[in-house]
């Protein structure tokens, strides 16, 4: 089994890794959209000053026994949240300040975070990877989708703006999206990942996409790198999980998966400038990468994984709260930047965006 991420340089496109500490060096700067993602949604969300713990829950944390080791989780003194409502859609890429939890969600957040902490403490050294995803990873990722911030009015009640997809049974198709000069490398690649976060589209938008003609899949219309039930779901954040002590690097699968997305864009003639978010989870540790394409002189391109940036650790309450907050900030980026870009590329109606900007408009 392929175990080293350095082998991804044999793929087409080639994949290289760059730490965030070098992005100010000549030739390694982030392109504009990736720079906006880093500055406005990742670096700020990972800051100790970020409002990642609602103030109504901070006092409750002070009364808990703390982490599995018994110590109290350190809470930044300014890690507070005000009960302000999430602002509507701004101009794409514009800085809008930090993500702020809606006060109505505080109890739901507390229930999930405290339960995840219990599951981590109970199962850390006992369970296999799939079970870890079920009891630790999925509850946090799905909570983002359920928060008031990421809902929009429809005819009956509230409907989510985001989708969370289990990808463990869906491989990259067609396999022509995976290109490598090494046959053994191709065989070794596990052509699927664990979880993705994407946009939840209206039915009429999905129908419009269904009617389009696609260069790579004329018999099976797909906007992404799969031929499965979520072939019309735009995905902007991809997650791969590995338990510790496994002789596999989660970046191997993520590298092939993200490369297939960029190959799809190029084959269809879609713009290449939008970055992709990749998250690796190695038991407790969550690490984030920004992936962007780099054009080459011969008309092809290579991919640069910029990172890793730690976004939290599930070994204590503070780390779990921070992971959730960063995921919410990424969801905010998906709404403010990725969604308008996707609509523009695929010529979809902006009625959704108009409704989010003006809640007084008639419901869709």
pTM of the model: 0.86
Helix (H) or strand (E) holding 313: strand 301-313
How many Cβ atoms from other residues are within 10 Å of residue 85's Cβ?
12
Strands, DSSP E only, in the chain?
11-12, 15-18, 151-153, 158-160, 162-166, 179-180, 195-199, 235-242, 276-282, 285-295, 301-313
Cα distance between the two ends of the chain: 49
- Report the alpha-carbon angle 46-49-53, nearest 5: 80
Q: What is the pLDDT along the chain (364 residues), one digit of tens a residue?
A: 455 777 788 888 999 999 999 988 877 899 999 999 999 999 989 987 778 898 888 878 777 644 444 444 443 333 333 333 333 444 444 445 789 999 999 999 999 999 999 999 999 888 888 999 999 999 999 999 999 999 876 554 456 799 999 998 888 888 888 877 666 667 667 568 999 999 999 888 899 998 888 888 777 789 999 888 889 999 999 999 987 656 678 888 899 999 999 999 999 999 999 999 999 999 999 999 999 999 999 989 999 999 999 999 999 999 999 999 999 999 999 999 999 999 999 998 665 555 554 444 333 2
How far apart (Å, rounded) are the C-alpha atoms in residues 120 and 110? 15
């Amino acid at each position: 089994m392929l175990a080293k991420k350095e082998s991804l340089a044999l793929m087409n496109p080639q994949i290289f890794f760059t730490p965030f500490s070098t992005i100010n060096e000549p030739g390694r700067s982030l392109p504009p959209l990736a720079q906006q993602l880093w500055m406005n949604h990742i670096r700020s969300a990972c800051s100790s000053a970020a409002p990642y713990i609602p103030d109504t829950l901070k006092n409750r944390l002070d009364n808990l026994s703390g982490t599995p080791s018994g110590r109290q989780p350190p809470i930044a003194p300014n890690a507070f949240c005000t009960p302000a409502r999430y602002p509507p859609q701004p101009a794409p890429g514009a800085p809008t300040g930090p993500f702020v939890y809606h006060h109505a969600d505080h109890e739901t957040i507390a229930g999930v975070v405290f339960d995840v902490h219990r599951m981590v403490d109970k199962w850390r050294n006992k369970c296999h990877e799939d079970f870890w995803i079920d009891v630790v990873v999925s509850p946090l990722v799905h909570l983002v989708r359920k928060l008031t911030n990421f809902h929009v009015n429809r005819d009956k009640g509230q409907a989510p703006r985001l989708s969370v997809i289990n990808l463990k049974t869906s491989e990259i198709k067609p396999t022509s999206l995976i290109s490598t000069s090494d046959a053994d490398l191709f065989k070794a690649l596990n052509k699927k990942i664990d979880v993705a976060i994407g946009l939840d589209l209206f039915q009429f938008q999905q129908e419009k996409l269904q009617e389009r003609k696609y260069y790579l899949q004329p018999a099976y219309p797909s906007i992404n790198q799969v031929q499965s039930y979520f072939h019309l779901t735009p995905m902007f954040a991809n997650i791969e999980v590995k338990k510790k002590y496994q002789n596999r690097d989660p970046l191997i699968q993520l590298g092939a998966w993200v490369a297939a997305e960029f190959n799809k864009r190029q084959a269809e003639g879609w713009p290449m400038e939008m970055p992709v978010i990749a998250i690796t989870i190695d038991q407790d540790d969550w690490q984030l990468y920004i992936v962007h394409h780099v054009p080459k002189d011969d008309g092809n391109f290579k991919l640069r994984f910029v990172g890793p940036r730690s976004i939290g650790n599930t070994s204590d309450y503070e780390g779990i709260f921070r992971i959730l907050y960063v995921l919410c900030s990424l969801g905010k980026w998906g709404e403010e930047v990725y969604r308008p870009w996707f609509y523009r590329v695929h010529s979809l109606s902006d009625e959704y965006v108009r409704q989010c900007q003006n809640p007084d408009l008639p419901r869709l």
